[in-house]
Chain A
Amino acid sequence: MSTDTQIVQLDEKAIKQVAVLLSKEEKDPSDFGLRLAIKGGGCSGLSYDLRFDQKADKDLTQEFSNPDQAASIKNINVFIDPKSAIYLKGMSVEFDDGLMGKGFVFRNPNATNTCGCGESFSVF
């Protein structure tokens, strides 16, 4: 799958980690990708939904090359439904693997308000 249009950015660590997890869960990367979606709720109003899923009809797709050249999975796909895209556009996903690492961290340059848990935000 190729990229329809740029909605989100993933940093290199995030891409690698997604590929590792896809491998661990034995999901075929040509069939499964990372779904990013928005749902209501959370301390700041909106929350992210993150899971492996197959592409749905109207999904916007972005393909990312795995910077880990030794890995078996060379590319990963990100799927975003068009309605979530209006909230997610411009977002970047990073992977924090440090000592106090939080795992996947969502940075939204549009977010004017985030909560301490880092999982909830508002975009206006």
Chain B
Amino acid sequence: MTLLVKGKDAENFISRQASNSLKDSNYAAFLKPKGQIVSLCFIEKSNGFFEISCQNQELLKEHLEKFIIVDDVEIEISGKGINPKVKLEGFVEDQSIIKLVETYPDILEKYVDFSKGCFPGQEVLSKFKNIGLKKREERSKKFTDEALEIFAQAKNNQEDLDPAIDLLKKALKENPRNEDAYESLGVMLAKQEKFPAAIAVMQQLEMINPKNQMALMNLSIFYMKMGDKETAEEYKAKGTVLKFEEALKQ
């Protein structure tokens, strides 16, 4: 089911509540002032009204109606099915958006526009982005650097890599977008001949940055080691094409 938001002031009203800029269609979160999530949504503009697809329409309707004072806005629940785009595993009502970002690091990019006008929860998010997130990125980098130091000192014994691997996992908990940590972790797991685990890590890196050449090349190598020549060649081809594209740009 979706929410339909109609009325002369619908656009202005939604704009003041939603975490993202309104376009023809966009993801947005509706938050409480301290950053707890009321709803994660997909908003579509259509024929002068807004269609909000979300997981808990009644809760969102009740929440938004509290803010209608003199605005010419009407909110009704429509019978259309929920847009699968907003199904998020692990989502818990009233959860802090900051907590959710730990599991889904791309939430900020997808659901929030920091340059738009005010919305509830904006202060919490801005603080997190400017201070909290920076601190986590710094800690993540520090753990990664320490892991690489341990590797450099290791006597080439596979067991010696475990402390480095643990540090890289810590680094990724702090910053799930730390590409260096993914790459290093994948390579170290491969050195321990844990190729399925190494592949899983490199695939996560590829998801975060499809243009990361080292991810593609390492995946090619790992699949080759697993005896899967076909997949190895696919990744190698991907990496080669990317290399040419980047060379042409220069």
Q: Give the contacts of B24-42 with A (CB-CB under 8 A).
A: none
Query: Min CB distance, A124 to chain B, in Å?
Result: 5
Contact A86 B156 (CB under 8 A): no
User: B217 touches which one: A4, A5, A45, A89 (CB < 8 A)?
Assistant: A45
Contact A124 B221 (CB under 8 A): yes
Residue of A nearest to B215 (CB): A40
Taking the complex as formed, is A39 at the interface, i.e. its CB lies under 8 A from any CB of chain B? yes
Among A4, A41, A122, the one with the most B-chain Cβ atoms within 10 Å of its Cβ is A41
**Would you give the 0/1 interface string for A80-96, flagging 1 where the beta carbon is closer than 8 Å to chain B?**
00110111011000000
Query: Min CB distance, B95 to chain A, in Å?
Result: 35
Which residues of A have CB within 8 Å of B188?
86
Categorize the interface residue count of chain B: 20 to 34
User: A40 touches which one: B151, B153, B180, B214 (CB < 8 A)?
Assistant: B214
Given A82-B145, A82-B152, A124 contacting B217 (CB threshold 8 A): no
Contact B217 A40 (CB under 8 A): yes
Which residues of A have CB within 8 Å of B225?
112, 124
Taking the complex as formed, is A30 at the interface, i.e. its CB lies under 8 A from any CB of chain B? no
Query: Min CB distance, A121 to chain B, in Å?
Result: 10
Taking the complex as formed, is A23 at the interface, i.e. its CB lies under 8 A from any CB of chain B? no
Sample of 19 more A-B contacts, CB < 8 Å, known A39-B213, A122-B221, A124-B195: A4-B152, A39-B214, A40-B216, A40-B217, A41-B240, A41-B243, A45-B220, A45-B221, A82-B148, A82-B149, A82-B152, A83-B148, A86-B184, A86-B187, A89-B152, A112-B225, A123-B221, A124-B191, A124-B221
Residues of A at under 8 Å CB distance from B? 4-5, 7, 39-41, 45-46, 58, 60, 82-83, 85-87, 89-90, 112-113, 122-124
